[in-house]
Amino acid sequence: MSDRPDIEIRMVSQPRYVCAVRRAIEALADSQGMSKQDAADLALAISEAMTNVIKHGYDGQIDRPINIQVSPINPNGRKGLKIVIEDECEQVDLSQIQSRPLDEVRPGGLGIHLIERIMDQVQYAHRQSGQGMRLTMCKFIDAQKTVSER
Amino acid sequence: MSDRPDIEIRMVSQPRYVCAVRRAIEALADSQGMSKQDAADLALAISEAMTNVIKHGYDGQIDRPINIQVSPINPNGRKGLKIVIEDECEQVDLSQIQSRPLDEVRPGGLGIHLIERIMDQVQYAHRQSGQGMRLTMCKFIDAQKTVSER
Amino acid sequence: MADQDTIISDHQTIEDGVVVKVEGEIDLIRSPQLRKELIELLNADLDRMVIDLSHVTFMDSSGVATLVEALQIQRRNNKKLILCGLQQKVKSIFEISRLDMVFIITEDTASAAQA
Amino acid sequence: MADQDTIISDHQTIEDGVVVKVEGEIDLIRSPQLRKELIELLNADLDRMVIDLSHVTFMDSSGVATLVEALQIQRRNNKKLILCGLQQKVKSIFEISRLDMVFIITEDTASAAQA
Ligand SMILES: Nc1ncnc2c1ncn2[C@@H]1O[C@H](COP(=O)(O)OP(=O)(O)O)[C@@H](O)[C@H]1O
Ligand SMILES: Nc1ncnc2c1ncn2[C@@H]1O[C@H](COP(=O)(O)OP(=O)(O)O)[C@@H](O)[C@H]1O
């Protein structure tokens, strides 16, 4: 995969715009041959990740930058999509970003769980610039870990 | 409107990706309160403009840059969307970019006509960098020139 | 998706409660409005609330959280909350978050009235 | 939208020709395949070809160009081509390009068989 992503979306942290990115990514996944259900799940995961940046990273501010990069990948002949989400939030301790146990039924706290279950690879990191976080995710088209195996 | 667009999409000139941009723009227009039919027409116009860049500007090359910027606008209280499409094609004489008379029924030659009828403002220009074209378009939400008045 | 609209597009009284129909995408933008509309209805102390999701095309975790909250209110009052008509796309989020076993979920409004 | 698939999802013989059903988005990517499939069928010298567009969710100018080409072939042979079932979204491109007066467009396949 070259350094330049096939598609890059730079947007402000306006919750209204999350829907547009979700639809674009679902269409992209579809065009790469991902099943409709997997593409819909992928769109959900990206939506949750962006929502978390807006809610937790930017505390609801609507004019901060979010950057989404999407590229087809093909490591060892395994087709998939790589999605990177970068922000300029204050860097938090990566151990803070985690899902809660699901046996307690209460509203909230499902986003990270959804992201981890839907994506085949998920990695949060601090950006080297010293500001901002980077979330790198992959989902394969012939995924061994499919959500239907949950 | 500030200089930085609310959403910017940078992508390679791969025809498969046009669908993703189309869906994103339709969702955005919808989220701004545009009617479903106008949002669908807008998506069509953007699709045609991108297709023209790939076909005519890049002669089908799939790895050249296309840049789409979208921002809500509100000149004189009139809500709308401004969309700018930039490429790095060779600059053509702007008079070459024109629609043909429609009374002759034959395949092809409808793209520019669709763009002009759907959008409220359309302007092609040479980019100042000396390379590439810029297409600036607006569509208003309370448009006086609605497509239904055709 | 405009966020000023009402999310519950229709509601119908049944013997022991109400069937409400929800429309469109239930995401961060629209969940607060859904929450408001649901809680208003739940104040009426209904034995059975059926939420028809057949016209919901997308739901994120904020939508699910809203439904969990409604479920908790009903449970606390010893009342029922039933979801029905989920599109597969929408069912998926309940499955992944293992809430398909927590909610009563039925095929359609008819079976929801019996559940 | 995968581009390897066939675009005509179904075709049905009628008294004087055929009804073909087209699916999905007909854009730059998929129009060449549609063109190929249509021209193959038109070689059979059908008195009437009905194209059911009710399952088409998007069409761009390349899709329209493909249909114009099919219309020209039929006209040249003194045969009919009829479009039916257009969703409003799709009807719009025919209206804007003033081709709604050039094509015979009907509500559904039943009326297309008579048109
Ligand atoms: N982008 C982010 N930046 C900072 N903290 C985050 C981010 N995403 C998630 N978190 C942290 O992880 C926790 C779990 O997130 P999540 O599972 O999405 O549930 P919720 O958002 O409902 O709290 C959040 O409460 C927050 O503390
Ligand atoms: N982005 C572009 N770059 C260069 N030339 C263009 C571009 N867009 C349109 N044109 C010119 O305008 C003409 C009309 O375009 P259009 O109405 O879309 O019909 P078609 O693409 O079928 O020829 C094209 O044939 C081409 O010469």
* Averaged pLDDT, A8-13: 98
Does the beta carbon of A99 sit less than 6 angstroms from any atom of ligand 1?
yes
Split at pLDDT 50, 70, 90, the class of B138 is very high
Split at pLDDT 50, 70, 90, the class of D110 is very high
Rounded to whole angstroms, what are the CA distances from B102 to B108, B127, D90?
Answer: 10, 30, 19
Look at the block and give the residue holding tokens 């969307």: B81
Does the beta carbon of B112 sit less than 6 angstroms from any atom of ligand 2?
yes
Amino acid letter at D42?
Answer: L
Read off the pLDDT of residues B34-54 as tens digits, 9 standing for 90 and up.
999 999 999 999 999 999 999
By alpha-carbon position, which residue is closest to atom 22 of ligand 1?
A109
Q: Which atom of ligand 1 is nearest to the CA of A135?
A: 1
Q: B12–A7: do the CB atoms touch at under 8 Å?
A: yes
What is the rounded distance in angstroms from the CA atom of residue A26 to the CA atom of residue D106? 33
* Averaged pLDDT, A37-59: 97
Residue A144 pLDDT > 70, yes or no?
A: no
For residue C24, give both structure tokens: 């469109």
Strands A133-140 and A80-87: antiparallel
Radius of gyration of chain C (CA): 13
pLDDT at B143: 54
* Averaged pLDDT, B20-27: 97
At C66, give phi and psi (nearest 5°): -65, -40
Average pLDDT, chain A: 92
The CATH class that applies to domain A7-140 reads alpha beta
Nearest CA in chain C to B29: C1
For residue D3, give both structure tokens: 């581009």
User: Which of B81, B46, B44 lies closest to B66 in space, CA to CA?
Assistant: B46
Coil vs helix vs strand at B121: strand
Domains, chain D: 8-114 (3.30.750.24)
Sign of CA dihedral A74, A75, A78, A84: negative
Read off the pLDDT of residues B71-87 as tens digits, 9 standing for 90 and up.
999 999 999 999 999 99
For A123-132, A137-146, C103-112, which range has the lowest pLDDT when averaged over its residues?
A137-146
- Written as one string, the DSSP assignment of C34-79 is HHHHHHHHHTT--SEEEEEEEEEEEE-HHHHHHHHHHHHHHHHTT-
Helix (H) or strand (E) holding C88: helix C88-96
Spans of all domains in chain A: 7-140
What is the rounded distance in angstroms from the CA atom of residue D10 to the CA atom of residue D72? 23
pTM over 0.80: yes
Residue C25 pLDDT > 90, yes or no?
A: yes
Is B89:B81 a contact under the CB 8 Å cutoff?
Answer: no
* Averaged pLDDT, D23-28: 95
CA of B106 to the centre of ligand 2 (A): 15
Residue A77 pLDDT > 60, yes or no?
A: yes
Split at pLDDT 50, 70, 90, the class of C2 is very low
Nearby residues of A111 by Cβ (< 8 Å), 6 or more positions away: A48, A49, A51, A52, A99, C61
Read off the pLDDT of residues D53-62 as tens digits, 9 standing for 90 and up.
999 999 999 9
Pocket test for ligand 2, best of B13, B44, B50, B52 (most atoms within 8 A of CB): B52
Is D23:D55 a contact under the CB 8 Å cutoff?
Answer: yes
User: Which of A17, A109, A141 lies closest to A68 in space, CA to CA?
Assistant: A17
